Structures are given as C-alpha cells and as structure tokens.
C-alpha cells in the first residue's frame, strides 16, 4: 500500500554508518533511523556515535513485490565494497510500518538550532523566543526529508545566506528536491522574495506545503510536483541537495533554467564523488567557486 513501508534492519559498527547510509540512499532508501535517533536525508553519523560500537540501523523502503530480492540486491551492493564485505553485515526484514508511525520517529532528538547568526529552525512541539534579528522557522519534517541538521542541508543554507547577503542578491530561487521545504523556507526567511520548490514525491510536497503555511510563506514559495525538465522559466539561483548522480543527470536542465550570471548550488555529494560531479559539469558554461565541506559531504558553488 502507498502508506506502508518496508523496514530492513542492519547491524553495523559506528565507523561504517556514513558509508552504509550512502549505499542505502543510492539503492532507493527513503530514510534511516539508528537506534531510535533520527538521521537526515543522506544518513551520516552524529558526533556522539562510538565508531567501535555496534548499532542497529533501520532503513525504510517503499513497498516492493519481493522484499527478499531487495535484501539480496543490498547484500550484493555491500559486498562490492571490500571493507563492508569483511564485516559480514546482517540484514533482517522488519515489520511493515505505516506513514504516521514513521513520522513520529522524526520527533526524537530534533530540537531548535541555529544556522549562522540569523536563522533558527525549531520543531512545532518546542518553544523558542528569538533574540535580536533572529528569524525563526517552524518545521515538521514528517515523512519528508530535511530538518536542517544534516551536513548537506547546513552547507546549502550557509551558501544561500552568503549569496543573499551580496550587494546583488538573487531575486528568485528554484529548490530542486525540496523535501520538507527547509531550503525554500530558509531562503525566504533570509530575504529571497520568490521561490519555486519542486519534488516528484507527493508526500514531500504535501509536507512542504504544510510547513510553508505554518510559517506564512505561501506568497513567497510555490510548491510543485512538476518534473524539472517540464518546468518553465529561469532563475537567479538554483539549489539541488540531491545525490551526485542525479545532479549530473539534471545538468542540462539546470543550465536551461538558470539565467546568465545565475548561481547553482549542488550538494548531497560525498567527498569522494566531488571530482565526478565537477567532471560532469566541466563541458558546460559554468565557473566553479571554492567548495565547502562538512563531515563526509561537499557543497559546490557554480555560476553561469
């Protein structure tokens, strides 16, 4: 059913959680929870993980006809990585989970936090009193992705803030793969007057719309399920916090939707895939600016 998800339980040492998370994401995993602690879209370990300890990681996948075949495919993908093959990773099929049950898992360990000096992100169940010029965004990720705690999300928000503080800031932005709407909301709160946020997942679009309504940003942010290739118009800024291969696949659509002089922020990219993405965009009319790094992730800044 559309509102049910397969849970595959994986036992792995803390030092491999980031690597395992990247493989799961590339295999179609929709989200991951590690021992009841929330991880964001691309699954990297937080600072409190003990690299030598064993952890139970729950990976969520959309319904498939044969879950055992999915496990077999995952085992093959893990065995292709020598360091994981040596670990003899154990896969177990867990119970089906419904949308509303998974949504509750995201409430654990998600508290208000800062992005830079001005932006504060808080969940709806926690109070926060802004100080000075702080702008507060209320966010409920639900079944969508992006709480702002993940390295890729923070890198994108920091780059967005830097561009919006320029003397010639972008006047409109396209958010590709918006998830919970966090990047669109952050850009709006930081002063971008017009934003189009797209996601091919209708659940993500629904969650993003709810978050935008809660923050009274509907006049600035439009949400659409329309694929990028079918979208019309050009923008001063495009942000794509998606996987490396998807960034490369969409490169032609990016340049077609970017005005001359416009900025392109690419993230969701593991450090070891930075060169792959740079090579993929080398033939296009982009200038590369210094990359930013956090944890195992890289954020690229390009200008047409």
53-111 pLDDT per residue, tens:
888 888 888 888 898 999 999 999 898 888 888 888 889 998 777 655 555 555 555 66
In a domain? residue 110: no
Region 122-133: what's the mean pLDDT?
Answer: 79
Find where tokens 């867990």 sit: 94
CATH of the domain at 9: 3.30.70
Domain boundary, last residue among 105, 122, 147: 105
- What is the rounded CA–CA span in Å between residue 235 and residue 260? 9
Domain boundary, last residue among 66, 90, 105: 105
Find where tokens 């669109």 sit: 184
Region 223-237: what's the mean pLDDT?
Answer: 94
SS3 content of the chain, % helix, strand, coil (to 5): 30, 30, 40
Read off the pLDDT band of 124 (50, 70, 90): confident
Higher pLDDT, 227 or 47: 227
In a domain? residue 210: yes
Pair (140, 233) in one structural domain: yes
Region 130-134: what's the mean pLDDT?
Answer: 82
| Nearest residue to 76 via CA among 56, 91, 58 | 91
Pair (174, 231) in one structural domain: yes
Residue 109: beta bridge partners?
none
pLDDT at 148 over 70: no
CATH of the domain at 266: 3.40.50.150
Pair (152, 297) in one structural domain: yes
- What is the rounded CA–CA span in Å between residue 50 and residue 39? 15
In a domain? residue 20: yes
Pair (277, 227) in one structural domain: yes
Pair (141, 55) in one structural domain: no
pLDDT at 267 over 90: yes
Pair (26, 172) in one structural domain: no
Q: Write the CA distances from 181 to 129, 132, 199, 201, 282, integer angstroms.
A: 22, 25, 10, 12, 30
- pLDDT, averaged across the chain: 84
% of the chain surpassing 70 pLDDT: 86
Pair (40, 154) in one structural domain: no
Region 207-219: what's the mean pLDDT?
Answer: 92
In a domain? residue 127: no
pLDDT at 216 over 50: yes
Global confidence as pTM: 0.69
Domain boundary, last residue among 65, 82, 105: 105
pLDDT value of position 290? 94
Pair (87, 140) in one structural domain: no
pLDDT at 45 over 60: no
Pair (149, 288) in one structural domain: yes
In a domain? residue 230: yes
Pair (28, 146) in one structural domain: no
In a domain? residue 131: no
Number of separate domains in the chain? 2
- Choose the weakest-confidence range: 128-132, 166-170, 212-216, 260-264: 128-132
In a domain? residue 159: yes
Pair (75, 148) in one structural domain: no
- Choose the weakest-confidence range: 44-58, 172-186, 212-226, 231-245: 44-58
Domain that holds residue 14: 4-105
pLDDT at 140 over 80: no
Pair (189, 63) in one structural domain: no
């Amino acid at each position: 059913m559309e509102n049910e998800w397969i849970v595959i339980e994986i036992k792995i040492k803390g030092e491999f959680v980031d690597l395992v998370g990247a493989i799961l994401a590339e295999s179609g995993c929709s989200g991951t929870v590690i021992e009841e602690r929330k991880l964001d879209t691309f699954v990297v370990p937080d600072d409190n993980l003990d690299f030598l300890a064993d952890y139970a990681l729950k990976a969520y996948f959309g319904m498939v006809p044969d879950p055992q075949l999915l496990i077999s495919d995952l085992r093959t993908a893990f065995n292709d990585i020598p360091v994981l093959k040596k670990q003899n990773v154990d896969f177990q099929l867990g119970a089906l989970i419904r949308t509303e049950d998974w949504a509750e898992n995201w409430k654990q360990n998600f508290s208000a936090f800062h992005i830079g000096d001005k932006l504060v992100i808080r969940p709806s169940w926690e109070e926060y009193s802004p100080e000075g010029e702080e702008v507060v965004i209320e966010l409920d990720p639900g079944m969508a992705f992006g709480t702002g705690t993940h390295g890729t999300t923070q890198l994108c928000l920091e780059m967005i803030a830097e561009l919006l503080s320029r003397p010639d800031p972008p006047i409109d932005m396209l958010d590709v793969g918006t998830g919970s709407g966090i990047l669109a909301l952050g850009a709006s709160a930081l002063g971008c007057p017009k934003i189009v946020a797209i996601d091919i997942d209708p659940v993500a679009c629904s969650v993003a719309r709810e978050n935008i309504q809660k923050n009274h940003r509907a006049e600035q942010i439009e949400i659409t399920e329309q694929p990028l290739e079918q979208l019309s118009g050009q923008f001063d800024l495009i942000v794509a916090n998606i996987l490396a291969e998807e960034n490369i696949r969409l490169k032609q659509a990016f340049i077609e939707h970017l005005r001359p002089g416009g900025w392109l922020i690419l993230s969701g990219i593991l450090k070891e895939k930075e060169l792959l993405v740079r090579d993929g965009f080398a033939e296009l009319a982009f200038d590369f600016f210094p990359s930013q790094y956090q944890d195992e992730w890289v954020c690229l800044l390009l200008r047409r």
